[in-house]
Structure 1
């Protein structure tokens, strides 16, 4: 069974997504039903919903809505990574509410849409350290030039499990390997960081091929190995680079020649261990 650790759902009549207007191809409804039809055909049997940077007042409403979807018969949804604002004083109370909700498995604050110094604030860092011993993860969504900021955060919270989204967001289209490879290798030296194999098709040119992805994948494997790697679809963002089936096919091709044991780690075993999934 494949566990998708990075699904976005968009329901514009239920929640507010201020950023959608800036990305017209994604300014539409992307529903669970639409995703699940294709996902089941690909062997995806469990899914974590990833917060979609909704308006701040909708953060807890998003989690509740996705939880309701998970309660439907035969739902693939088994948990959620919730949005958060660690830079705000109310985070501690929010954390306690979330801990009472077993559906939430971790948090994410998208850092490449805010000033670089947000994660350097003392309150932000104090609140991230609160995640230690909670079993909750924190997803790092940063651009290559911000990985240094992410490393500082990781070093200040060594007991918190971090997930580096989208392989550190390399600029594949722009040939940004050289800018990305060093920072990725450095953050990979931190044992509490797991890399998420996701997002790559969206960062390539419209005519990307497997050959464009191979050097980036090879560097991720060299630096993180398969014991600290999980797979995510990044649907519907992956539709910008071909779609769910295209990304699954590319992943299977990248993993060709890899042992069955290591494939199982990437597709399911590591996710089960990190998020305590059945």
Structure 2
């Protein structure tokens, strides 16, 4: 199986644009680069990866593209542009000339307005993404999903992937199941919406097991199907509540009941097609 990690990060703290990354997040407060990722990926049989932005700056997108040029394992970069800025279409056109630039991700979870995605003047930027064949990663919680639905219905030709299964509040147990489950199912009815099985370990409590995560993976499978799901590690954020090999093995067990073709889609085929790797 040509396994693709559809969601991982690199960062260098000295760059200074990771506002969320503070010493309070001790396991993450250091540099993480390709040399750290390579042995983890090799041990898990991961051949290629998508590196996703972790700072809301164009400079970081250029930094990730520099790393991608030097490291064949990096098959693509999902970067950041100011989508509501007048300069956004030109920036998108410029970045799209880089063969490994595959999409953009606004950090919706960090914005003060939950409905920004539905009401901001994003039309020119979204048209540019569609024109250049780029994807849109949605970093959201359940509370953002009604607004993401409005946005997706407005732009049916935009390929959208929901990161981390929309971060279900797994640590809350049964109390966190709704409205996440209903809202994710509603979005899954739109054919251009895909979803990443990533980040679930981070949303679970300490000591999570296969049984902890199984209902969430099963719900995503039931609604999106294997061919609109893609596995990602969310490394190194994963280090807050798990490890690379453990999460990969868990995801492998949780999808063991699927056919070979379905597993191949989740662990590489969907990401390859969706991002045009």
1:149 is matched with 147
Give 1:25 deviation, angstroms: 3.1
2:7 is matched with 6
Q: Give ranges in structure 2 of 5+ residues lacking alignment.
A: none
TM-score, normalization by structure 2:
0.93
1:25 aligns with 2:22: no
Q: Is the 8 A contact 2:49 2:75 kept in 1?
A: yes
Q: Is the 8 A contact 1:125 1:156 kept in 2?
A: no
Indicate the larger mover: 211-220 or 116-125.
116-125
Residue correspondence of structure 1 range 146-225 to structure 2 within 5 A: 146-175=144-173, 176-225=176-225
1:101 is matched with 98
Structure ranking higher on relative contact order (CA contacts 8 Å, 6+ apart) = 2
Match of 2:46 among 44, 48, 53: 44
Distance 1:20 1:85, change over 3 A: same
Counterpart secondary structure, 2:196: strand
Match of 1:34 among 27, 33, 36: 36
1:239 aligns with 2:239: yes
TM-score, normalization by structure 1:
0.93
1:76 is matched with 73
Give 1:252 deviation, angstroms: 0.7
Q: Over aligned residues, Cα RMSD in angstroms?
A: 1.5
Give 1:209 deviation, angstroms: 1.1
Q: Give ranges in structure 1 of 5+ residues lacking alignment.
A: none
Q: Which deviations, in whole Å up to 9, do the C-alpha atoms of 1:151-199 show, x marking residues without a partner?
A: 0110000001000110111000012112210000000000000011100
Counterpart secondary structure, 1:233: coil
